Amino acid sequence: MAYLGNPAGTLRVLDKYKFNFRKNFGQNFLIDDHILTKIVDAAEITGEDLVLEIGPGIGTMTQYLCERARQVIAVEIDSSLIPILEDTLSEYDNVSVINKDILKVDIKALADEYNEGHPIKVVANLPYYITTPIVMGLFESHVPLKSITVMVQKEVAERMQTGPGSKDYGALSLAVAYYSEAKVIATVSPNCFIPKPNVESSVIHMTVHKKSPVEVTDEAFLFQIIRASFNQRRKTLVNGLSGANIPGVDKDRIREALTKMGKPETVRGETFTLKEFATLTNLLHTP
């Protein structure tokens, strides 16, 4: 089986199986060898790695991953792609294809079964409509991870690595900073896909922290505070948090915490760094 990282190879497979793209799955297949190589290089795949690929499509990037990794687990939601994957990946004995929704897969169980519980690497060309739930699900479930290297919508990549004061700054930016160190590897033109998406894409590599850069007494509470702070960006922190119905968090406690931090009552969440959110969380937290 020839590599699929080019228009001719991809079109040949699509025609052979009379494949119809399904918009509800956000399917855009990569057809650029240079970008595919860049993704796999950025993920730093070695012969010792277990790689989880989310949404392998027709197996284009899967082939590249199989060439380098010890084992690849490819999770594909679209059952019509399974026969195609069995064909395009037939030469590889180090890949397992799972026909499931990634949001319903027990990734920790996969790491235990295939990698003895050691950290895995995630690589994916993610459907734009579900990028944030997938990335947050990986982080918040505390699956053992080394890194996440994904193709996402360019605007989402910008949100993932921006800082306080930016209009793109929000809960996703803070979550990525809390769990990892993020770096955009490449910007990708719509011309690199079949069919062409309407927006530019970016490849972003996130190296997962062994230990978070900030310490909080309750991680779930931290993200409750963060989400409430950005739910209504125009509101001050005092009004935004007090209106979020978080038990024990009222205006007086918020004002008291801000005073201890040397912050005015008019401060907004979009100006707070991750460290400042951690401090605020610890001050507001009631065991």
- Exposed e or buried b for every residue in 192-213, given b needs 16+ CB within 10 A? bbbeeeeeebbbbbbbbeeeee
Of 159, 188, 208, the residue that ends a domain is 208
Q: What is the pTM of this model?
A: 0.93
Q: Are residues 161 and 192 in the same domain?
A: yes
For residue 85, the enclosing domain spans 7-208
**DSSP per residue over 133-174, as a string?**
HHHHHHHHTT--EEEEEEEEEHHHHHHHH--TTSTT-SHHHH
The CATH number covering residue 117 comes to 3.40.50.150
Per-residue pLDDT of 179-233, as tens digits, reads 999 999 999 999 999 999 999 999 999 999 999 999 999 999 999 999 999 987 7
Q: Are residues 230 and 203 in the same domain?
A: no
Total domain count, the chain: 2
Over residues 248-271, the mean pLDDT reads 94
Q: Are residues 240 and 192 in the same domain?
A: no
Q: Tell me, what's the pLDDT at 135?
A: 94
Q: Are residues 53 and 155 in the same domain?
A: yes
Q: Are residues 39 and 68 in the same domain?
A: yes
Q: Are residues 15 and 35 in the same domain?
A: yes
Q: Which residues contact 183 (CB under 8 A, 6 or more apart)?
A: 161, 204, 205, 206, 207
Q: Are residues 119 and 232 in the same domain?
A: no
140: left (phi over 0), alpha (psi -120 to 50) or beta: alpha
Q: Tell me, what's the pLDDT at 2?
A: 63
- Residue 1 reports pLDDT greater than 60: no
Alpha-carbon 72 to chain mean position: 18
Q: Are residues 198 and 269 in the same domain?
A: no
User: Is residue 2 domain-resident?
Assistant: no
Task: Please name the helix (run of DSSP H) or strand (run of DSSP E) that holds residue 204, with its range, or none.
Answer: strand 201-208
Per-residue pLDDT of 46-80, as tens digits, reads 999 999 999 999 999 999 999 999 999 999 999 99
Per-residue pLDDT of 93-147, as tens digits, reads 999 999 999 999 999 999 999 999 899 999 999 988 889 999 999 998 888 999 9
Of 17, 18, 95, 91, the residue nearest 56 (C-alpha): 95
- Residue 287 reports pLDDT greater than 80: no
Q: Tell me, what's the pLDDT at 23?
A: 78
